[in-house]
Each structure stands twice: as structure tokens, then as C-alpha cells.
Amino acid sequence: MSEGFILIGAFFGIFIFFVFTYFVPVGLWISAIASDVSVNPIDFIGMRFRRVSPHAIINPAIMVKKGGIDIPLQALESHFLAGGNVSKVASALIAAQKAGINLSFKQATAIDLAGRDVLDAVKLCVKPKVIQTPLVAAMAKNGIQVKAIARVTVKADINKLVGGATEETILARVGEGIVTTIGSASSHEEILENPDRISKTIQDKGLDANTAFEILSIDIADVDVGENIGAKLQIDQSEADMKIAQAKAAERRAMAEAKEQEMKAFEQEMKARLVEAEASIPQAIADALRDGNMGILDYYTLKNISSDTEMRKSFSHMAEPPKPNQKR
């Protein structure tokens, strides 16, 4: 019986040991105690029940403690449960302290939860970054296109990283400044002779307002002449005017042809009426003779006049000289 109790006790002891080591990582606990981090087994058990990895909390706690920063474990665990990266926050706090940057734990966690890399932000405060704009093309007042590329040196502003505009906003504002400066120049030669006119104009605008960065300098990396946009627009306008004039001329020609056809139709109508009227003359003469309104002598007098008229017409046609393009 005693041997059975011993086996059961040993089995139970082994079970308790494994359960304890699962809930309380002994090696991590020893490292925390050696680093003067205040943690007890109850804290580890609570983390396990809250489904928090002890290594994700204790290792950053050891890191900040060694760096001379005192942050409660509950604050680190709360940030982890909120979806933050505790390790990067700890590294950023140490880097900020070494660089003399005033960064609190609350600011660091807010930056991290905002989706920004807080460690890179601290590094960017120490070491400025150069961002290059894409090729920006604009037209001067004389119609010549000018192309320019600018390099912007920026430094992160810790106090504006939450809610501040990103690099894309800086690039957009710089591009707008380049277009405005080139467009206000009387000639493209002014820009080519004095490229720093662009950077001075842009810097005077205060483009880093409401952004997460501070602009240190704006330098024009390249400036070049593009197409003659003014001349091209004039050519396009001339072609458009010519097409409009051609369309109007075609319209007038079509109207003239329609009028001509209308006059020909009217002429044919008048001829038809004349033929109709001439055809009614013999009937009228016959009616006048039958009714006694016209005598036989009057009829022959009318015939003589008609014959005389026909003879005169034939004589006049014979006397006319032939036209050069007509054959006799």
C-alpha cells in the first residue's frame, strides 16, 4: 500500500510540476527577477488565462528596465491586448531616451496603435529622410513646358505622428508648388536660369503644416525643357478653325445647289404654264369667231402679225455672230 501511495504521489507531483511550468515559465521568471522586474507566479497565471504570451510582455519589460525606464507590467499587457506591438514600443522608448527625444509611453502606444512604426518614427527623428517627387511638368506663360524633379528632406515630428498627414501629402504639396511656380514665370528661361526659385517659393508656403513631418530643405534635382505646348495649342486651334470654315463653306454650297434646283423647278413650272396658256389660244380664237366677237379679217390680220414676228426672229438669229466654242 505504501508503494502505491508513493507512486500516486510521484505522479501527482510530476503533474503539478508540468502544470506549474506551463503556467509559469521558470527560465523567464528567473530572468525577470535577475533584471529587477517585479513579477510573481500569479502574474504569469493571469497572463495565461487572458491568453497573453508571457514572453511578449516580460522580455520588453526587461528591456525597458535595463534602459532605465519604469513601466508597469499591467500597462504593457493592456497595450498587447489592444493589438499593439509591445516589443517595438519598448525599443522606441529606449531609442528616444538615448537620442534625447521626449517620448512618453502614452505617445508611443498611441503612435503604434495608429498603424505607424513607432521605432522607425524615432529613427526618422534622429536621421532625416530624403523623399523624391515624381517628374512634374508645367507650362510657363510663353507656352514652353518645363519638367522638374525635387528632393525633399524631412524629419518626423513625434507630436504630430498621430493624426498628421503622411509623405504622400508632402509630395502632393511640393508638386503643386512646382506647378504654381513654373506657371507664374513669364518665360521658361527664368526657371532654367534660377531653379532655386522653385524651392524658395515652396518653402515660403509652409507645406509641412498639419503633417507628421518637418521639412528641412527642398532641393531641385533636375529641371528640363519639354514641348512647346503653346505652339501646339495654336496649331490645334488653327486646324479647328479651318474645319469650321470648311463646314460652313460646304453648308453654303449645299444651300446654293438647293436654291439652283429650286429655281430650275420653278422655271419648268413656268414653262409648263406657258405651254398650257399657248395651247388654249386656238380654242379662244375659235370661241371668238363662233360668238361673233372676232371677224375673219381680224383673224387673218392676227396670223399676218404672227408670221411677221416669226420672220423677224429668224432674221435676228441669222445676224448673230457664232460663239467661239460653237461650230457653224
- The predicted-structure confidence for 316-325, as pLDDT tens digits, reads as follows 666 555 555 5
- What pLDDT score was predicted for residue 317? 62
More confident residue, 304 or 135: 135
Q: Residue 328: which pLDDT band, with cuts at 50, 70 and 90?
A: very low
* Domain 129-228 grouped into CATH 3.30.420.10: no
Given a cut of 80, is residue 128 above it in pLDDT? yes
Work out the average pLDDT over 157-163. 78
- What pLDDT score was predicted for residue 11? 67
Q: Residues 56-85, buried b or exposed e (16+ Cβ, 10 A)?
A: ebbbbbbbbbeeeeebebeebbebbeeebb
Closest CA to 59 of 84, 35, 95: 35
By residue count, the chain amounts to 328
Work out the average pLDDT over 121-126. 85
Given a cut of 50, is residue 327 above it in pLDDT? no
Domain ranges for the chain = 2-126, 129-228, 280-320
- What pLDDT score was predicted for residue 310? 73
Q: Report the percent of the chain where pLDDT is more than 90.
A: 0
Residue by residue, DSSP assigns 223-287 as EEEEEEHHHHHHHHHHHHHHHHHHHHHHHHHHHHHHHHHHHHHHHHHHHHHHHHHHHTHHHHHHH
- What pLDDT score was predicted for residue 322? 58
- What pLDDT score was predicted for residue 222? 84
Residue by residue, DSSP assigns 279-297 as HTHHHHHHHHHHHTSS-HH
Query: What's at 264, amino acid-wise?
Result: K
Residue 165 DSSP one-character state:
B
Q: Report the percent of the chain where pLDDT is more than 70.
A: 87
Q: What are residue 185's phi and psi, to 5 degrees?
A: -75, 140
More confident residue, 81 or 313: 81
CA angle 316, 320, 323 (to 5 degrees): 150
Q: What is the largest CA-CA distance in the chain?
A: 178
pLDDT in tens, 12-46: 666 666 666 666 777 777 787 887 777 877 877 78
